[in-house]
Amino acid sequence: MLSWLSGGMYADGSNGGNRTQALGDQMTLGIPCPLERRMPVRKLALYIAALALCLTAATAANAVTAYDGSWNLLFVTQRGACDPTYNFTVNISNGFVSHPNLVRFRGYVQRSGAVRASVTVQDKYASGWGRLSSTTGRGTWSGRSGQARCAGHWTAQRN
């Protein structure tokens, strides 16, 4: 079988027209071989790349993690002059953690359940890390409220 070169020519200089072509034990005489009607390699590579991109986008758009859903969080201050506790609910969708009223909230849960998040509200900032299971979670956090530095632990319960 001859290979297709750029410019629409085969390695033997022909354009793939009528010629004798051996296919296994069979021989065709002067009949165009349907297997030779191939698209150029660059065009094929482009189609394959486009298909791979579409499949990747479709998979990401439909991705669901084991942790997706609504979670109640309880933050407990163990050191520092921050409020003793903070309670709020977050949503996890495709591994991304969000809160409907907190614009400056970022978080992500990995497939393993490892989670990292950070939030800023006015002069308060906190970041935390830990792990979620299918229904609960726990971890540690640190941050500040104004000039006061604080730290503690958090727990999570799936709603």
Residues 42-77 have pLDDT tens digits of 555 555 656 555 454 444 445 688 999 999 999 999
Beta strands in the chain (DSSP E): 4-5, 9-10, 21-23, 26-28, 69-79, 85-93, 96-98, 105-109, 114-121, 124-132, 136-145, 148-158
Domain assignments of the chain as residue spans, ordered by start? 4-61, 69-158
What is the rounded CA–CA span in Å between residue 41 and residue 35?
A: 14
What is the rounded CA–CA span in Å between residue 153 and residue 159?
A: 20
For the record, the structure tokens of 147 come out as 């000039």
Work out the angle at residue 63's Cα, subtended by the Cα atoms of residues 62 and 65, and round it to the nearest 5 degrees: 145
pLDDT at 69: 95
**What is the average pLDDT across 9-38?**
49
- In this structure, which amino acid lies at residue 87? N
The 10s digit of each residue's pLDDT in 23-36 is 444 444 455 545 44
pTM: 0.59
CA distance from start to end of the chain: 63
- CATH of segment(s) 69-158: 2.40.128.120
What is the rounded CA–CA span in Å between residue 93 and residue 108?
A: 9
**What is the average pLDDT across 86-107?**
89
pLDDT at 81: 86
Q: Please say whether the beta carbons of 159 and 148 come within 8 A.
A: no
